[in-house]
Amino acid sequence: MASNEKAELHKTIWKIANDLRGSVDGWDFKQYVLGTLFYRFISENLANYLNEHQHKAGIKDFDFAKLKDKDAEFGRKETVLEKGFFILPSELFVNIRANCKNDPNLNETMSRVFRNIEGSAVGSPSELDIKGLFDDMDVNSNKIGGTVVKRNELLVKLLDSVGELQLGNYADNSIDAFGDAYEYLMTMYASSAGKSGGEFFTPQEVSELLARITLVGKKSINKVNHPLPPRRPSKHQK
């Protein structure tokens, strides 16, 4: 991603974050923006990985996102071993977003999806990496709306706004691009809230986490050619 494209993406993300949060404190709202970005990233990364695998096998019209959940279950175990997690087709970002305006229980739907993503890694080598990923994104919190209707209205806007972002090609070092966007958002939030830089993950740590959950067991990822360092304890392990 060119530097001018990156700068434009960052400005767009920051505008979305500010436009959507309304009266919600920016430092509190950051977890919803970052969590939704993260959810989109791992959804598209997984679907792209599975699609590519099937296309290479000669099934050119395969589209994981359009698969029935019961048919997708066939490859769950192998996918978790390869990728570290699993998401059912119906629970991918693209499909949750497509139906979000018609889902009166969107907050509960998203809560279930996040539990299922984390639950998919239980018993696997990636369990500790995935555990608690979405703990800070409480879609039932009064902070984002005093009623279910209000909360869901905000979640719809968030899904649509993040879904419209041009995040680049997943074959072109998108993990680094995501890490950059994460760093930018956190820096802006910290500056606005008067926080210190030590209160959030650095972009390198974010990239390492993304590398772990998207290429479990591999030694390198795209243009990042160094071995993954030992995992830092999360707030859940301290």
The domain containing residue 14 runs over which residues?
Answer: 3-214
Structure tokens at 51: 């699609």
Higher-confidence residue of 101 and 197: namely 101
Whole-angstrom Cα distance, residue 186 to residue 128?
A: 24
Question: Given this model, what pLDDT does residue 223 score?
Answer: 26
| Number of domains, the chain | 1
Whole-angstrom Cα distance, residue 211 to residue 75?
A: 21
Whole-angstrom Cα distance, residue 196 to residue 238?
A: 20
* Residue 197 pLDDT exceeds 70: no
- The answer to whether residue 183 sits within a structural domain is yes
* Alpha helices (H) in 22-66, listed in sequence order: 26-56
Whole-angstrom Cα distance, residue 238 to residue 233?
A: 6
Of 12-26, 144-158, 201-215, least confident by mean pLDDT is 201-215
* Residue 187 pLDDT exceeds 90: no
Q: How confident is the model at residue 43 (pLDDT cuts 50, 70, 90)?
A: very high
- The answer to whether residue 18 sits within a structural domain is yes
Structure tokens at 141: 């919190």
- The answer to whether residue 229 sits within a structural domain is no
Question: Given this model, what pLDDT does residue 25 score?
Answer: 75
Question: Given this model, what pLDDT does residue 120 score?
Answer: 95
Q: Are 143 and 179 in contact (CB under 8 A)?
A: no
End-to-end CA distance of the chain: 36
- The answer to whether residue 9 sits within a structural domain is yes
Using CA atoms of 161, 157, 138, 122 in order, give the dihedral in degrees to the nearest 10: -50
Mean pLDDT of the chain: 78
- The answer to whether residue 22 sits within a structural domain is yes
- The answer to whether residue 231 sits within a structural domain is no
Whole-angstrom Cα distance, residue 174 to residue 170?
A: 5
* Tens-place pLDDT, residues 124-156: 988 888 888 888 889 999 988 899 999 999 999
Question: Given this model, what pLDDT does residue 134 score?
Answer: 87
Q: E strands along the chain, which residues?
A: none
- The answer to whether residue 232 sits within a structural domain is no
* Tens-place pLDDT, residues 57-106: 999 999 999 999 999 999 999 999 888 899 999 999 999 999 999 999 99
Question: Given this model, what pLDDT does residue 193 score?
Answer: 64
Question: Given this model, what pLDDT does residue 234 score?
Answer: 38
Whole-angstrom Cα distance, residue 20 to residue 23?
A: 9
What CATH code is carried by the domain that includes residue 200? 1.20.1260.30
- The answer to whether residue 143 sits within a structural domain is yes
